Amino acid sequence: MALDEYKRKRDFGSSPEPAGAQPRPSPPGRTPRYFCVQKHLASHLHYDVRLEHNGVLLSWAVPKGPSLDPAVKRLAMHVEDHPIEYGDFEGVIPSGYGAGIVMLWDYGTWTPEVDDVDAALTKGDLKFALDGFKLKGSWVLVRTKGGRWGGGGDRAWLLIKHRDHWAGPVDIAEFAPLSVKSRSDFADILSAENPDVWRSKRPAKGGDTGAMFETIIARALDISARRAGSTPLDKSGARTRRKTPARKSR
Ligand code: MN
C-alpha cells in the first residue's frame, strides 16, 4: 500500500511522527485539497513539499526550498508518500530516519490545474495552484530526463514557479523563515522539547549542517535555561554562569 515505505523507514516507538491511519480518498478533479511544506533540518536542510492526493501526501524533498522566481528551477526529489496526519506535524525527531527538527513552514490548499492528477504524475508534468500563507499562484513539478514516478531509479523532479502576480525576486525562504503553526524557529521548536537530546550523537556533524545544529542547539539550551530562570548546563552537566550574559532580544 501507499504508506508501506513510510512505515518501514520509521520506528513509531521512538519517533513522534504520526503512524498514519488508513488512506482516505481525495476530492476528484480540480478541487482544492491540503498541501504543506515542512522545513526539515536533518542530515541536510531541505523543504518537504507535500500534496494531498488519493488519501496520502505525495512528497518531494526540495534541498533549496521553493523559489518564487520563474527562472529558477529547484531540484525536488520525489520521496515516499506520507500520511495525511503528517500534514501539521512539527517537532523533534530524536533518532532514526529523518532525525532532526521539523517545522511547519507553510500550509494551505493546492488545486490541480489538470483534470487527471494520476495521468499528470505518470507523464511527469503536474501543474497546480497553491494557496498557502507563503506560497501562492501557479506552479509546476516536472520530472527530469531519466526521472521516474514511483519506486526505484532516479526520483529527480524540478519545482518551478509559473509567471503570475505571485512570482517575484524575493527569497521567500529567507524573507519568511518561521513556522506558520507556531511562529517558531528551529531553536524554539527544539527548546520546547528536550534541547539536550543530541548531547552524544548529532543528526549531522561538521560542514554547514553541523554548524547549523551547533548554533541551534546552543540557542535552544539558552532559551530553555532562561525559561527555567536558570543558567545553561555545561558538558559535564554542571550549571555554569556566563562571564558575559548573552542578551538577545527575541
Ligand atoms: Mn524530510
Let me know if residue 69 belongs to a domain: yes
3-state secondary structure of 173: helix
Let me know if residue 138 belongs to a domain: yes
The pLDDT confidence band at residue 231, using thresholds 50, 70 and 90, is low
What digits encode the pLDDT tens for the residues 38-89? 999 999 999 999 999 999 999 999 999 999 999 999 999 999 999 999 999 9
Q: Which domain does 111 fall in, by range?
A: 4-10+24-183
Residue 211 has phi, psi (to 5 degrees) of -65, -40
Give the Å distance between the CA of 242 and the centre of ligand 1. 36
Q: How many domains does the chain have?
A: 1
Let me know if residue 197 belongs to a domain: no
- Cα angle 8, 11, 13; round to 5: 150
Let me know if residue 63 belongs to a domain: yes
**To the nearest whole percent, how much of the chain has pLDDT over 70?**
86
pTM: 0.86
Give the Å distance between the CA of 48 and the centre of ligand 1. 5
Give the Å distance between the CA of 61 and the centre of ligand 1. 6
Give the Å distance between the CA of 35 and the centre of ligand 1. 15
Phi-psi region of 12 (alpha: psi -120 to 50; beta: other; left: phi over 0): alpha
Lowest mean pLDDT among 4-13, 206-215, 233-242: 233-242
Give the Å distance between the CA of 157 and the centre of ligand 1. 16
Q: Cell numbers at residue 90, please?
A: 512539527
What digits encode the pLDDT tens for the residues 170-182? 999 999 999 999 9
Let me know if residue 52 belongs to a domain: yes
Let me know if residue 91 belongs to a domain: yes
Tell me the one-letter amino acid at 178: L
Let me know if residue 191 belongs to a domain: no
Q: Is the dihedral of CA 98, 101, 106, 109 positive or negative?
A: positive
Give the Å distance between the CA of 131 and the centre of ligand 1. 22
State how far the Cα of 117 lies from the Cα of 48, in Å rounded to an integer.
Answer: 19
Let me know if residue 116 belongs to a domain: yes
Give the Å distance between the CA of 82 and the centre of ligand 1. 10
3-state secondary structure of 129: strand
Give the Å distance between the CA of 149 and the centre of ligand 1. 18
